[in-house]
Chains A and B, each alone.
Chain A
Amino acid sequence: MTFLADLVQTLINGILQGGVYAAAAVGLSLIFGVSGILNAAHGELVMLGAFATYWLFTLYHVDPLLTLPVSFALLFALGFTLQYFVLHRTLGRPLLLSLLVTFGISMILVNAALRLWSADYRMLRIPYFEHSLLVGPFILPLSRVVACAVGIGMVAGLSWLLASTRLGRMIRATAQDLEMARLVGVNPRSIYAVTFGLGAGVSGVAGSLVALYAPVEPNMGLTFTLFAFAVVVLGGLGYTAGVVWGGLTLGIAQALTETYLEAGLSLLVAFFLLYLILRFMPAGIMGKGRLE
Chain B
Amino acid sequence: MPEPAPLLALEAVDAGYGALQVLWGVRLLVRHGEIVSLIGPNGAGKTTVIKAILGLVPLRRRPAGGAIRFKGERIDGLAPEQVVRRGIAVVPEGARVFPEMTVLDNLRMGALAPRARGREPQSLDDVFTLFPRLAERRPQLARTLSGGERQMLAIGRALMSCPELLLLDEPSLGLQPSLVRSIIEAISRINERGLTVLLIEQNVHFSLPISRRAYVLEQGRVVLEDAGPALLESPHVRLSYLGV
User: Which residues of A line the B interface, CB within 8 A?
Assistant: 166, 169-170, 172-173, 176-177, 179-188
The distance in angstroms between the C-alpha atoms of A180 and B100, with both chains bound, is 13
Decide if B98 is an interface residue (CB 8 Å cutoff): yes
Q: Is the pair A169, B109 in contact by a Cβ cutoff of 8 Å?
A: yes
Chain B residues contacting A172 (CB-CB under 8 Å) are 98, 100-101, 105
- State which of B101, B112, B113 has its C-beta within 8 Å of the C-beta of A176: B101
Residues B108 and A169 in contact, CB atoms below 8 Å apart: yes
Distance in angstroms between the alpha carbons of A176 and B112 in the assembled complex? 17
Q: Closest residue to B160 on the A side, CB-wise?
A: A184
Q: Which residue of A lies closest to B79 (CB)?
A: A182
- Which B residues touch A183, using CB under 8 A? 54, 80-81, 84, 90, 92, 96
Report the bound CA distance from A64 to B54 in whole Å.
50
Q: Which 4 A-B pairs have the closest CB atoms?
A: A182-B80, A185-B112, A180-B96, A182-B81
Please give me the residue from chain A that is nearest to B99 by CB atom. A176
Min C-beta distance of B41 to chain A, whole Å? 25
- CA separation between A173 and B101, bound complex, in Å? 8
Contact A186 B112 (CB under 8 A): yes
**For window 58-110 of chain B, which residues contact chain A by CB distance below 8 Å?**
79-81, 84-85, 90, 92, 96, 98-101, 105, 108-110
B146-162 vs A, CB cutoff 8 Å, 1 = contact: the mask equals 00000000000100010
B96 adjacent to A177 (CB under 8 Å):
yes
Inside 8 A of A188's CB, which chain B residues have their CB?
81
Shortest beta-carbon distance from B50 to chain A in Å: 10
Which residues in B have their C-beta under 8 angstroms from that of A187? Answer: 79, 81
7 pairs, A vs B, C-beta closer than 8 Å:
A169-B101, A170-B109, A172-B98, A172-B100, A172-B105, A183-B92, A186-B112
Tell me which residues across on chain B come within 8 A of A166, comparing CB atoms: 108, 112
Q: What A residues does B92 contact at CB under 8 A?
A: 180, 183
- Give CA–CA (A136, B110) in the complex, Å: 56
User: Would you call B105 and A184 a contact (CB within 8 A)?
Assistant: no
Chain A hits for B28, CB < 8 A: none
> In the complex, which of the residues A176, A179, A180, A187 has the most CB atoms of chain B within 10 Å of its own CB atom?
A180
In the complex, which residue of chain B has the Cβ closest to the Cβ of A238? B100
**A187 vs B99: C-alpha distance when bound (angstroms):** 20
CB contacts (< 8 Å) of B112 on chain A: these are 166, 170, 184-186
- B residues touching A (Cβ–Cβ < 8 Å)? 54, 56, 79-81, 84-85, 90, 92, 96, 98-101, 105, 108-110, 112-113, 157, 161
Question: B56 contacts A179, CB within 8 Å?
Answer: yes
What A residues does B84 contact at CB under 8 A? 182-185
Task: Give Cα A24 to B157, complex, Å.
Answer: 36
Contacting residues, chain B, for A182 (C-beta < 8 A): 79-81, 84
Instruction: Across the interface, name the chain A residue whose C-beta is closest to B108.
Output: A169
Interface contact B80-A177, CB-CB below 8 Å: no
**Residues of chain A contacted by B96 (CB below 8 angstroms):** 177, 179-180, 183
Chain A residue at minimum C-beta to C-beta distance from B114:
A185
**A177-B113 contact in complex given A185-B85, A186-B81, C-beta closer than 8 Å:** no
Of residues A166, A169, A185, which shows the largest number of chain B Cβ atoms within 10 Å of its Cβ?
A185
Tell me the smallest distance from the CB of B47 to a CB of chain A, in Å. 13
Contacts A185-B113, A187-B79 aside, 16 further interface pairs with beta carbons under 8 A come to A172-B98, A172-B100, A176-B101, A177-B96, A177-B98, A179-B56, A180-B98, A183-B90, A183-B92, A183-B96, A184-B112, A185-B81, A185-B112, A185-B161, A186-B81, A186-B112
In angstroms, how far is the closest chain A Cβ from the Cβ of B96? 5
Residue in A180, A184, A187 with the greatest tally of chain B CB atoms within 10 Å: A184
Task: Give the distance in Å from the alpha carbon of A183 to the alpha carbon of B106 in the complex.
Answer: 13
Instruction: Tell whether, in the assembled complex, residue A176 and residue B81 are in contact, meaning their CB atoms are under 8 Å apart.
Output: no
Q: How far is the CA of A275 from the CA of B165 in the complex (A)?
A: 53
Do B98 and A173 have beta carbons less than 8 Å apart?
Answer: yes
Smallest Cβ-Cβ distance to B111: which chain A residue:
A184
Residues of B within 8 A of A185 (CB): 81, 84-85, 112-113, 161
**CA A179 to CA B84, docked complex, whole Å:** 12
- CB pair A176–B98 under 8 Å, yes or no, is yes
Give the complex CA separation of A172 and B98 in angstroms: 9
Given that A182-B80, A185-B113 are known contacts, is A176 also in contact with B100, CB under 8 Å in the complex? yes
What is the CA–CA distance of A176 and B54 in the complex, to the nearest angstrom? 20
> Which residues of A lie under 8 Å from residue B80 when comparing CB positions?
179, 182-183
Q: How far apart sit A147 and B110, CA to CA, in the bound complex (Å)?
A: 39
